Every structure is written in structure tokens, then in C-alpha cells.
Structure 1
Amino acid sequence: MRFLLVLALGLFVAACSTSERSGTDASSTGSTGTTTGQTMTGPEPGTQAHLNQTIGDRVFFDFDRYSIRSDMQGTVSAWAQWMKENPGVSILVEGHADERGTRDYNYALGARRSHEVKLALTAMGVDGDRIETTTFGKDRPAVLGSNEAAWAKNRRAVVVVASQGPSA
């Protein structure tokens, strides 16, 4: 008898949790719509959060190189389009390097990487006055470690939204 009671209680709990997931609550992610009239929105266009959510904020480079890799060209093109859609936005492009090499060499490499991104964006029609560049060399690693996996994540350029004006 006790077994049947426990089994019935378990089935009841399972049935309740199933109906909660398939309900029409306004906070659910299903296609049932909202009952409060509120609309779900993402980050405000032209913000860092919007850039991060729609495109991402970084591109990666090969070892000891500053040319934009072919697999990163799409990201840079998307940044250019995003900047055209958000004409009041100015950005800072940060250049980074992995830990190998001297501090001076990596500062120079990071500078070349950020400048290369700026050149690509201006070639795609973005006003160069909206783009500043800087370098951090090897001083701000994204990933700690002395292996290829960490180094690959640290050889990068990062776009930071520096100012946000009115959007188009």
C-alpha cells in the first residue's frame, strides 16, 4: 500500500512539473505569446552588449602575424556593417599578443594588429575618425597558460565601444 502511495505521489509531481513547462506563462520561451503586453528585447543597438551578442568583440591572429586571417574576415565585415548601422558609435580596437617574445616586440605586434583591423574597417567604408587603436602587447592575456590553446586565444584584437551617440 505504501508503495502505491509513493508511486502515485511521484506521478503527481511529474505531471505538475510537465504542465508548468508547457504553460502559457509570459516568461516562458515557448511560442505561446505574452499575456502582459510586454515584448522581449535584446541589448540596445550600438552598445557593447549588442555588439557582443550579435557579432562578437574579437578576432584572432596567427603566431607572429598581424594580417587578418581569412576565417576572421567575416567578423570584421560584420563589424563594418554594424558600425554603418550605428553611425553614432566610436570604437577602440585593442591589440594583444601572447606571452612569447619581449615586452617591446609584443607591444609593437599588438599595435600592428589593432591598426590592421582599423585599416580593414576603413576600407569597408567606416570613417577612420570613429576608430581609435591601442596595444596591450602581452600584458592582458584573455587566457592564462603557456600552451598553444592559451596562446591562440591571446593573439587577438578586441573591439570596445568607446562612445555611443544617436543611432540611425
Structure 2
Amino acid sequence: MNKTHKIILLVLFALVMAACKKKDTRPDTDPVEDTTDNTPVVDTTTNQYRDPSSICCNPSDLDNPESLLAQRVIYFDYDQSTVLPEYRNIIEIHARYLSQNPSARITLEGHADERGSREYNLALGERRGNAVSSLMNAQGASGSQLNVVSYGEERPVALCSDDSCWSQNRRVEIVYTAR
């Protein structure tokens, strides 16, 4: 093994260890929309979102803006790859759709904001994609239907350099490659 590979493995190990040390300090309360922050917020309080099992999983729902299947972006906290509770219903309904439509395929595109090195952000984007993939697998989607790719910081949605932009760039996009 050459020196470059050893350095890369050492850096990846350090990143994994650093990620394991993080502790969630948020209180166990329902998410509240913060009017001082432009962080994207998903409304999970309506009846439509309370019981994903009551939502039909037809291919036409993928284009219906009133359906959870039309929501295809999962946002993350800074430097985290843990799926936030407000996005679990979205992941669950996509997993159900995949389990009911075996020919359907998706790509989970992991993204990060501009902070951190290119290598770190690629690894973080992959961890985020894998977190969503794991939840979908646990909820009935087949591993053969899921593909994870990381773009790191390379494809930002917002180009400014402040908290509101960074929060929009910390995401996983669900892209249907076959319906």
C-alpha cells in the first residue's frame, strides 16, 4: 500500500471517529419553524403527512405536488448524516413506493455545503445518501433499487456563503431513474 492510500485511510478513519463523537443536544420536541432562519421546513402536521400508510403509491403520485412522493429532498444538520425526524415520512413513502413497484429505481444524490475539504464533503455526502438508503431498506425497498452517489460540495443549490445557503446545500436528492 503506498503512502497516499495510507494517508487517505487515516483521514477517513479520523472523520469516522469525529462523526461518532457528535452528540445530539436538541430537545425531544416537535419541530418548530424558526422565522429568523431560512432553513427549509417540511410541514408534517397536516393529516396528509401523519399516516403515510394511508397514501396510495401510484406512479402518478410522483408528479402530484400534494403527495409526499413529490417531495424528494432530505435536508441535514451541519456536519451530520442523521436523518431528521421531519423527513422520515417522506423516506417511508418512497420506500413503500419502491417495494410496491419492483421495476422502480432511484439514485440518492448526497450533497454537502462548501465548508470542509473536497474529500471530506464527498465522504459526508455519501454518508448522507447511505443513511437515507438504510432507512429505505429497513422499510421494504430492495437494495437493487437504490443507488447512492455523492457530489459533495460540487453541485450547490444556493451559491451564497451564509447559513441560509449552506442549509439548502446539505441534502440528499431522491432522483427516480425508473418509475
Alignment partners' CA distance in 1, 2:95 and 2:148: 15
> Which of 147, 152, 160 is matched with 1:132 structurally?
147
Inter-CA distance 46–163: structure 2 relative to 1 (3 Å threshold): same
1:131 shift after superposition: 0.3
Judge conservation of contact 1:48–1:160 (CA < 8 Å) in 2: no
TM-score norm. by structure 2 comes to 0.62
Work out whether 1:46 is the aligned partner of 2:64.
no
Q: Give CA-to-partner distance per residue, 1:142-163, whole Å, 9 cap, x none.
A: 1111111111111000011112
Following superposition, the deviation at residue 53 of structure 1 comes to 5.9
Percent identity at matched positions?
31
How many equivalent residue pairs? 120
Q: Classify 1:90/1:52 alpha carbon distance in 2 versus 1 (closer, same or farther; 3 Å).
A: farther
Distance 2:61 2:130 in 1: 20
Match of 1:104 in 2: 119
Unaligned 5+ segments in structure 2 are 1-57
Secondary structure at 1:125 match in 2: coil
Higher Cα Rg, which structure: 1
Equivalent residue letter for 1:162: T
Query: 1:95 is paired with a residue of what secondary structure?
Result: strand
| SS of the residue 1:126 aligns to | coil
Task: Give the AA of the match of 1:77.
Answer: E
**Counterparts of residues 1-168 of structure 1 (less than 5 Å):** 45-46=58-59, 50=63, 54-55=67-68, 56-164=71-179
**Structure 1 runs not aligned, ≥5 long:** 1-44
Question: What is the aligned-residue RMSD (CA, Å)?
Answer: 1.9
